[in-house]
Amino acid sequence: MSTAELKYTLFKVIDVINDSTTLKEIYSFVSKKADADFWDNLSEEQKLEIETTLKNLDAGMGIPNEKVMSQYKGKYL
């Protein structure tokens, strides 16, 4: 089922619900998923890697995006 089909089917299911309690529960579930912070879903190893990378960037040890992109232009892009 495509994303568009899934959205439409979900809309049809929700559209026939008239119970406000059920609708509030559905809304609460969906809004929590939409507001979820990706950070909370990362492993400790992934978090450490990101923090280390950010510290390295702050220390000037990064590679400019233009340089990285020029290396791959034509190969993958």
Q: State pLDDT tens for residues 10-66.
A: 999 999 999 999 998 888 888 776 666 778 778 999 999 999 999 998 898 988 888
Query: What pLDDT does residue 47 have?
Result: 92
Domain extent at residue 13: 3-35
Report H helices in the chain.
Answer: 3-15, 20-35, 44-58, 65-72
Cα 17 to chain center, whole Å?
Answer: 29
Is residue 16 assigned to a domain? Answer: yes
Domain co-membership, 31 together with 43 = no
Checking if the pLDDT of 76 tops 70, the result is no
Long-range contacts of 42-49 (CB under 8 A, 24+ apart): none
42 and 27 share one domain: no
Q: Tokens for 69, please give them.
A: 């992109």
Please check whether residues 28 and 43 belong to one and the same domain.
Answer: no
pTM: 0.42
If asked whether residues 26 and 44 sit together in one domain, one would say no
Q: What is the pLDDT of residue 37?
A: 75
Residue 62 in domain? yes
- 67 occurs within a structural domain: yes
